[in-house]
Structure 1
Amino acid sequence: MRTSNGAIPRAFRARLGARTAVARKRSRHRDRFLNDGFARNPIGLRLYYRILGDTGPTLLVPAACWLQEDLEPLARGRRVVFFDRSGRGRSDAIPAGVPVTFASEFEDIDSVRAHLGLDVFSLMGWSYMGLVAGLYAADHPDIVERLLLVGATSMRYFGPTPVLPPELERELDESLRRQRERIDADALKRLEAERAAGGWRDGVAFCREHRRLSGPRQFGRPEAMLRTKADPCALPNEWPTALASLMQQIYASLGATWDLSDRVRRVRAPTLVVHGLEDLVLPNAARLWGTLIEDARVLWLAGVGHFPWLEDPATFFPAVDAFLRGRWPDGAGRVTQAY
């Protein structure tokens, strides 16, 4: 819901806050809930997992704290194992000085896999964990049966001020314009200034307000935020300062620039790339995944941002279900060109 100039109406932001509060209080449907618990990674950090669904093929999904409630429909006819990687959600925080690398990400996946006795599984990756999932699938072709990438981060980055092809420059400019339109930047700056000045000592309350103000920029359809059941702000690992620090570590480990295309080309699992055309992760990232992976199809979702299961559930869930059952969903096609 936007005004004629693209801004998010104040009344909508207020309604979002009220709906989020109600969602936190309402009881959860746990009819398909099996169990939850903790695995441990090689350095002893606890990794939270939660299992939903019936017996059947297994789908492994990182980012439990964001996805486990909103992706419950995927647990029909299969078992879905959600987990939080170290430093996220209900898993243990990463101690200072412990490096975060792709190797440590893979160790977290392998620790959950070993703890639950998973020989083979399909793997989903969303956002940055899409990059992790893609590289894990490349290195573990006998383990990952099918690969689902949703709004996945690109495997290429050429620095903060690269010389871009004109097509990609236009995509970036359009993305930045949408970001500016969809949030009240002044309100967000005031909130952060108040926090820096010693206000908002309640980390949960600050996180929820920060998410309410900043969240719409990640959506093509900001009103879809009302559908979310997740409340990651209840967990200190997901507070803005903690999350920013962790992501800084992650990207620092990759270096000033990176190009992991050669590794991605080794993916052998059938791969469905789902990408909203209004995602802040530029559509070219999806084009790259689609061109580099031999057996990949891309499903484009018009008017959708970074949360397709909330913004277009009528397309997202049937498409993912079809793919996990072994067929390409309607609308998914090959991509032959990327920039």
Structure 2
Amino acid sequence: MPTFSAPDGTVLSYRTAGGEGGAPLVCLPGGPMRASAYLGDLGGLAAHRRLVLLDLRGTGGSAVPEDRATYRVDRQVPDVEALRVHLGLDRMDLLAHSAAGDLALGYAAAHPGRVRSLTLVTARGRVLGVEFTPDHRREAASLRAGEPWYPAAANAFEKVLAGTATDADWDAVAPLFYGRWDAAAQAHSAADVEQSNEEAGERYAAAGAFDPSAARAAISALTAPVLLYAGELDGGPRPRVAAAMAAMIPGARLVVQPGGGHFPWLDDPAHFTRTVAAFLDEAEPA
């Protein structure tokens, strides 16, 4: 896997997928702090753009930093900038999933002139002061009441919210994150633990990571096109919460995937790739 050095000397890696057509699409994984392998080829998006999928520090092929406090999301913004420089890009198309929405928005606030387009896929927005509440999660879960696995998932979900969940409970709630609990989703979910850095995930949103008022002021000057892609069945964010995030970003557009969960490229690859590829094509200079 190709590597480069972060400003603090930590060696970071990334993988690529797809051909050479168009500008690279730099992809930031969520989790938080899950190796980029779970993104796969983003439902076939690699057929439209060359994907550059970063392993955040301490995940996948990237080294564990000497200072574990640098797992905090705002302290990883320089890593994204170092990748841009390493790739030789004046501006970059940036895609972020889930918790990486905080990283991408933090990067856009710090380096607005370096972002050519921003795609936020079922993304968090704590950097803007947007939180996903337990009620949001319950609302999304209730949409799955007709599923055969729902009673066990609903019971386990309350234990997760109470902080008393066992490993078995976490397994039971997994279907809530997918629009279709099929073999592909089950395999994808089963890889979560081995792909994730639990310590890093706990430090990701540590105290001091977010300054929402400053970030909102900085993002208000962003001129790059922004797409927020939400799933109809997702609890983080619910579509209306994604709409609230979009309202904070000049010119941002929102697309809600019917039947989509938290990993929408698995639920309906055609809808996902068609929508995101069209957005990227619009953003690319002629």
**TM-score category by the smaller chain?**
0.7 to 0.9
Cα offset for 1:226?
A: 4.6
Say if 2:32 is the partner of 1:62: no
Correspondence for 1:277:
232
Residue number among 244, 254, 269 corresponding to 1:288 in the alignment: 244
Work out whether 1:251 is the aligned partner of 2:205.
yes
In 1, the alpha carbon distance for the partners of 2:80 and 2:275 equals: 25
- Give the 3-state SS of the residue equivalent to 1:115 in structure 2: helix
Secondary structure, in 3 states, of the residue corresponding to 1:222?
coil
Alignment partner, residue 166 of structure 1: none
Matched, 1:156 2:129: yes
Gaps in structure 2 of 5+ consecutive residues:
30-35, 145-149
| Matching residue's letter, 1:220 | G
Q: Deviation of residue 103 (structure 1)?
A: 4.0
1:307 aligned partner: 263
In the alignment, is the contact (CA less than 8 A) between 1:183 and 1:214 conserved in 2? yes
Matched, 1:326 2:286: no
Query: Which secondary structure does the structure 1 equivalent of 2:26 belong to?
Result: strand
Opposite residue 95 of structure 2, the aligned amino acid is: M
Aligned with 1:110 (options 60, 81, 89): 81
Structure 2 distance, partners of 1:144, 1:255, is: 21
Q: SS where residue 145 of structure 1 aligns? A: strand
Alpha-carbon distance between aligned partners in 2 of 1:185 and 1:38, rounded to the nearest angstrom = 44
Q: Which residue does 2:153 correspond to in 1? A: 183
Which deviations, in whole Å up to 9, do the C-alpha atoms of 1:184-239 show, x marking residues without a partner?
756998xx9998xxxxxxxxxx8xx887544212123323515749945444xx1x
1:215 matched to 2:174? The reply is yes
SS at match of 1:216: helix
* Alignment-derived partner of residue 32 in structure 1: none
Return closer, same or farther for 1:291/1:95 CA change in 2, 3 Å cut-off: same
Quote the offset at 1:84 in angstroms: 1.0
Is 1:144 matched with 2:115?
yes
Q: Over alpha carbons, which structure has the higher Rg?
A: 1
* TM norm structure 2: 0.77
The one-letter amino acid paired with 1:225 is: A
Q: What residue number does 1:30 align with?
A: none
Structure with more relative contact order (C-alpha pairs < 8 Å, separation 6 or more): 2
Q: Deviation of residue 295 (structure 1)?
A: 1.7
Q: Which moved more, 1:122-131 or 1:215-224?
A: 215-224
Q: Residue type of the partner of 2:178?
A: F
Question: How high is the TM-score relative to the length of structure 1?
Answer: 0.66
Deviation digits for residues 124-173 of structure 1 (CA, Å, limit 9, x no counterpart): 01111112212312332322111100011122257989xxxxxxx6x454
> Sequence identity, in percent?
28
Match of 2:10 in 1: 45
Contact 1:59 1:122 in 2 (8 A): yes
Q: Deviations over 1:76-99 (max 9, x none)?
A: 243211111112222223445534
Check 1:229–1:183 CA distance in 2 against 1; reply closer, same or farther (3 A cut): closer
Letter matched to residue 175 of structure 2: P
* Inter-CA distance 178–90: structure 2 relative to 1 (3 Å threshold): farther
2:55 alignment counterpart: 84
Q: Does 1:130 align with 2:92?
A: no
Structure 1 residues 86 and 313, CA gap change in structure 2 (3 angstroms): same
Q: Distance in 2 between matches of 1:299 and 1:141?
A: 23
- Secondary structure of the 1:125 match is strand
Q: 1-side partners of 2:114 and 2:155: how far apart?
A: 44
Deviation track 1:219-276 (CA, whole Å, cap 9, x = no partner) reads 23323515749945444xx1xxx42x32332222347995543333232210111001
Following the alignment from structure 2 to structure 1, what is the Cα–Cα distance between the partners of residues 10 and 81? Answer: 13
Aligned residues: 263
Q: 1:79 to 1:157 in 2, by over 3 A?
A: closer
One-letter code of the match for 2:129?
R
